């Protein structure tokens, strides 16, 4: 099955971002995973909430292809505690996590419930 695309919520330099609700992590996202298209891994932060009754893992998948020369370090797996506020993951290294076509893949452990928000950090100027 195709991964579900989740769009960025960009932070605005010298301004603000009202806390976005995020995308609901349901059985479809758990089964298919998430894709972030047009990713800039070094400027990408994930906010993940787990509302399940037990701790669950979220996994950022290593990239494939020649651009991911650090992929041998493996996936990034983070446990998110039960009924937590927010866990923030990232930013990430392109050379380890970027998929072909400038994508980032995120998977969830079976039974994961909650939300995911993809935040894009602004460039300094």
**How much is the pLDDT for 64?**
87
- Residue 116 in this model has a pLDDT that exceeds 80: yes
Q: Are 43 and 91 in contact (CB under 8 A)?
A: yes
Above 70 in pLDDT, residue 29? Answer: yes
**pTM > 0.85:** yes
Cis status, amide bond into 91, omega within 30 of 0: yes
If pLDDT is split at 50, 70 and 90, which confidence band does 125 have?
low
What is the chain's mean pLDDT, rounded? Answer: 92
The gap from C-alpha 116 to its chain's centroid, in whole angstroms, comes to 7
- Cα 77 versus chain centre, distance: 11
φ and ψ at 46, to 5 degrees?
-105, 130
**Tens-digit pLDDT profile for residues 46-105:** 999 999 999 999 999 999 877 889 999 999 999 999 887 789 999 999 999 999 999 999
Question: Is it the case that residue 123 has pLDDT exceeding 90?
Answer: no
Instruction: Give the per-residue pLDDT at 30.
Output: 96
* Closest residue by Cα to residue 116 from 9, 2, 3, 1: 9
Dist. CA 99–CA 61, nearest whole Å = 9
Domain-wise residue ranges, the chain: 4-120
């Amino acid at each position: 099955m195709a991964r579900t695309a989740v769009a960025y919520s960009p932070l605005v330099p010298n301004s603000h971002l009202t806390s976005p609700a995020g995308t609901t992590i349901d059985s479809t996202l758990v089964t298919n995973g998430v894709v972030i298209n047009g990713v800039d891994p070094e400027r990408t932060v994930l906010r993940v909430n787990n509302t399940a009754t037990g701790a669950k893992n979220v996994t950022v998948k290593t990239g494939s292809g020649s651009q991911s020369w650090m992929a041998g370090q493996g996936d990034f797996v983070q446990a998110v505690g039960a009924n937590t506020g927010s866990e923030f993951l990232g930013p990430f290294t392109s050379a380890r996590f970027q998929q072909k076509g400038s994508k980032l893949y995120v998977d969830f452990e079976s039974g994961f419930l909650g939300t995911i928000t993809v935040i894009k950090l602004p460039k300094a100027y």
